[in-house]
Amino acid sequence: MAQEKRKFGFETRMLHAGHIPDPVTGARAVPIYQTTSYVFEDTDKAAQLFELKQYGNIYTRINNPTTATFEERIASLENATGAVATASGMAAQMTTMMTLLEPGDEILSSAHLYGGTVTQFTHTFRKLGITVHFVDPTNIDDWAAAITPKTRALYGETIGNPKGSILDIEALADLAHAHKMPLIVDSTFATPYLCRPIDWGADLVVHSATKFLGGHGNSIAGVLLDSGKFDFSSYATIANPDPAYHGLKFYETFGHYGFLMKARAVTVRDTGAALSPFNAFLLIQGLETLSLRMERHVQNAQAIAQFLYDHPKVDWVAYAGLADNPYHALAQKYTPKGPGAIFTFGIKASNPRAAGKEFIESLHLFSHLANVGDARSLVIHPASTTHQQLSDEELAAGGVDAGMIRLSIGLETLEDLLWDLDQALQATSA
């Protein structure tokens, strides 16, 4: 087969997509272009770049060659038409919504979301005149019933935080398209190695690249991706003349690339939510080993979930890889290699809040911190940290059990992780 016709495999694209060796120096690794700006060839060329008549580097708040490699690589892995990298996962969500919506618009979202996203959607979006309604994601009829004439997008997480629920992406994409709106999926917990939402009909995908994509707990980053298939002609901010860009009609001018052009040339330009080239470099290093890391993450997670499930001191385990989990069938459809490496469990105890605290303090290998998706194993007890100000009743209303422990399973030797969990459980009072 001729080389140009070959569709390279996932692992090959993890290592090569978006980059050829540097033509001047021959550098094989992607260089870090740690520059704010780029010298123009002449004044005519400069004018063309500013008018978006020619694509090229202007200023690192808008584009950068190192960041461009990260964007092209993740777009290739997600089967997207392109990507725009951002300073954080929260910035990717903000960029997506500010590019898509007008004041008065509404979003219908799954309620099974990262807590920070719920806060951003509820309070910060309200200041922009955007209202978000939340729905229990498990029943598609509940979604359909909650759509109003103002709903402009459906939103959910591939693997929902913290319950580990699996989103029925295909059914939601059909529902969204029947109402001529896009489905936006946060696929942070899955990564494109475990699930590619665009293959199931999602239109826009966002990630906190801070987690498994970077994979080493060293950089805050985000990215938004477009399938290139959604017809944005009824979305005024993308289809109508844009006063923020001398009347340019992004959708008419750039077609399937219009949403991303607007996101980059207007939203990121004006919010300043750009990724630093150094962090883009670290993310590229992460992507190069994504499949190997994710394979080990899910292998360790499955074994640990089963170990805890069988442990006499454990009350419950919420991992969709377990056969009796309510999301097991959806996990087999959407994440057949394994439903991620982040899950929660509860300890059997008369005082679950105190038991959770005691358990965390007895661990040696797991790091107690507020992050997930690191190469190292992580743990948090929401009732004594992120949710400590809430009563047991308030915790229950928010879906957080007082004894709930969240684990993010890393790449350490499995037997060492099992040893650490077991000794901490033994040290915890019933």
Q: How far is the CB of 92 from ligand PLP (least distance, A)?
A: 8
Binding mask 40-79 for ligand PLP (x = CB under 6 A): ----------------------------------------
Distance from chain centroid for Cα 338 = 17
Question: In angstroms, rounded to a whole number, what is the distance separating the alpha carbons of residues 283 and 60?
Answer: 17
Q: Which residue is nearest to ligand PLP (CB)?
A: 89
* Span from 74-82, 87-95, 283-291, 330-338 in contact with ligand PLP (CB under 6 A): 87-95
Q: How far is the CB of 53 from ligand PLP (least distance, A)?
A: 34
Nearest to 334 by CA among 184, 196, 182, 135: 196
Q: Report yes or no: 372 and 342 within 8 Å, Cβ to Cβ.
A: yes
Nearest to 349 by CA among 316, 384, 307: 316
Among 71, 157, 242, 420, binds ligand PLP (CB under 6 A): 157
Give the CB-side neighbour count of residue 71, counting CA atoms within 13 A.
25
Within 106-135, the residues that bind ligand PLP by CB under 6 A are 114, 116-117
Residue type, 403: G
Question: In angstroms, rounded to a whole number, what is the distance separating the alpha carbons of residues 215 and 237?
Answer: 34
Binding mask 372-411 for ligand PLP (x = CB under 6 A): ----------------------------------------
Among 156, 182, 215, 222, binds ligand PLP (CB under 6 A): 222
Q: Is 161 in the site for ligand PLP (CB under 6 A)?
A: yes
Q: Which two tokens stand for residue 220?
A: 């805050």
The number of residues in the chain equals 430
Q: Is 86 in the site for ligand PLP (CB under 6 A)?
A: no
Beta strands in 192-304 (DSSP E): 204-208, 222-226
Q: Is 210 in the site for ligand PLP (CB under 6 A)?
A: yes
Q: What angle do CA 126, 139, 372 make, to 5 degrees?
A: 60
Chain positions contacting ligand PLP, by CB under 6 A: 88-90, 114, 116-117, 157, 161, 186, 188-189, 208, 210, 220, 222
